[in-house]
Amino acid sequence: MFSLDDTIAAIATPLGSGGIGIVKISGPDAPAIARQIFRPKKGQSALTPRYLHYGTLVHTADGSPIDEALVAYMPAPHSYTGQDVVEIQAHGGTVVLQEIMREVLHLGARAAEGGEMTLRAFLNGRLDLAQAESVMDVVEAKTAAGLRLAARQLGGALSNQVSAARQKLVDVLAYIEATIDFVEEDIPLADMLPPMTGALDALRALAKTAVQGMIYRQGVRTAIVGKPNVGKSSLLNALLRGERAIVTDIPGTTRDTLEETANIGGIPLVLVDTAGIRAQTTDAVERIGIERSRAALAQADLALMLVDSTQPVSASDWEIERLVRGKPALLVENKIDLPGAHHPPADFLPGVPRVALSALTGEGLSALETSLVEQITGGEVVTGDAAIVSNPRHRALIARAIDHLEAAIDAQKAGLSPDLV
């Protein structure tokens, strides 16, 4: 059970070597603990609120120094958690931060549970639930577009839109309850449909953003597939702008799947480089790699199918085409820097966008990235300050709210009694 009456502490920066490491203390005893372990530089007052103080952290038992540090004190309620908060900025070594934590815990604080600082911010009214959930989205954002989306959530963009719709419904509910509870009063008639319809339109608009929001938050799993030696690993390296996968002229170099995340137009693209798929092989290890490639393709949200533009489409290409067909995909004609121009026939992945490129030289790579963004987002990208639903829980709750509101509107139009509405 969580209690707001005790004082908690946590290392707020990742463990490891670094220039700065932060220990955060929150709770009623935070300033008292800080005053016991912190010795400000001569001439400085002890923990003036909202000032950064320079001094030395010491062991309380013998006064021996732990580290030089900067300490800030933020009194309640004007802090992240809404409680008295002390931040200790020391050097970012694992041992020094653990030593500071050990001393803080010895003085009466307890180690915070995961996410407990943000939980206190929520329970104390500093953040609403949507904002609290967005804190981790900010931390884990994989692209600048994803960060902008999470920052809007943290700033209350989604909460403000939901609250506006909710207020319309609260007003309607108040009117309905008044007509039920005070039948003898002369309550003026009011048309309930406009506010209910307005709230419904607002929720539907939010619901439409959910697919796009989930893409920017979670990314799109993309399998790069093709027969051996068509340039799958070269394409992975080109999209990552680095040498991540081993590339040779020997067919079957890639024996297992390899995953990396690329930032394509602000979208986190989880690229899965797969072993070349072919019908027959006597190599037991390659067979396992091929089975994993098939599994990766089945689990992918999008497929990038590569063919060799210097060769006619082969039986192996057609076999892979059957696996890809029906899945969102792009057909990539690779090796356009080499002699030969063999284009797949029209019935090879019909209706799928085609891009010609050279993964080796980079020619056509920007066209592929543009096609990827269009294929994933339908040409729409995150812009402006509009709220976007990116959390599965929010998406489900908005869908439920829409269902209930549609039922209420239908009840009103059908002339049912106010309590049923």
Tens digit of each residue's pLDDT (9 = 90 or more) over 155-210 = 888 999 999 999 999 999 999 999 888 877 888 888 899 999 999 999 999 998 88
Indicate the residue type of 357. L
Structure confidence at residue 347 as a pLDDT band (50, 70, 90): very high
Q: What is the pLDDT of residue 243?
A: 64
Q: What average pLDDT does this structure show over 44-72?
A: 91
Q: What average pLDDT does this structure show over 240-258?
A: 56
Q: How many CA atoms lie within 13 A of 48 on its CB side?
A: 8
Q: What is the pLDDT of residue 73?
A: 96
Query: Which residue is associated with the tokens 């008639």?
Result: 189
Structure confidence at residue 71 as a pLDDT band (50, 70, 90): very high
| Cα 229 from chain centre | 34
* Residue-wise burial string across 362-380, b where 16 or more C-beta atoms lie within 10 A, e elsewhere: eebbeebbebbbebbbeee
Q: What average pLDDT does this structure show over 324-347?
A: 90
Count of residues in the chain: 421
The residues spanned by each domain of the chain are 8-123, 127-206+392-421, 216-377
Q: Are 336 and 358 in contact (CB under 8 A)?
A: yes
What is the 8-class DSSP label of residue 229?
A: T
Q: Measured between alpha carbons, how far is 357 from 420 in angstroms, rounded to an integer?
A: 62
| Cα 69 from chain centre | 33
Which residue from 344, 366, 336, 349 is spatially nearest to 302, judged by alpha carbons?
Answer: 349
Q: Examine the pLDDT at 381 and tell me if it is beyond 60.
A: no
Structure confidence at residue 138 as a pLDDT band (50, 70, 90): confident
Q: What is the pLDDT of residue 2?
A: 64
Q: Are 330 and 364 in contact (CB under 8 A)?
A: no
Beta partners for residue 23, in sequence order: 11, 88
CA-CA-CA-CA torsion for 85, 86, 91, 95, nearest 10 degrees?
Answer: -80
- Ranges of H-type helices in 300-341: 315-324
Q: What's the CATH number for 8-123? A: 3.30.1360.120
What is the 8-class DSSP label of residue 258?
A: E
Query: Which residue is associated with the tokens 């990766």?
Result: 296
The SS3 call for residue 199 is helix
Q: Examine the pLDDT at 376 and tell me if it is beyond 90.
A: no
Superfamily of structural domain 216-377: P-loop containing nucleotide triphosphate hydrolases (3.40.50.300)
What is the 8-class DSSP label of residue 10?
A: E
Rg (CA), the chain: 29
According to CATH, the topology of domain 127-206+392-421 is Four Helix Bundle (Hemerythrin (Met), subunit A) (1.20.120)
Model pTM score: 0.68
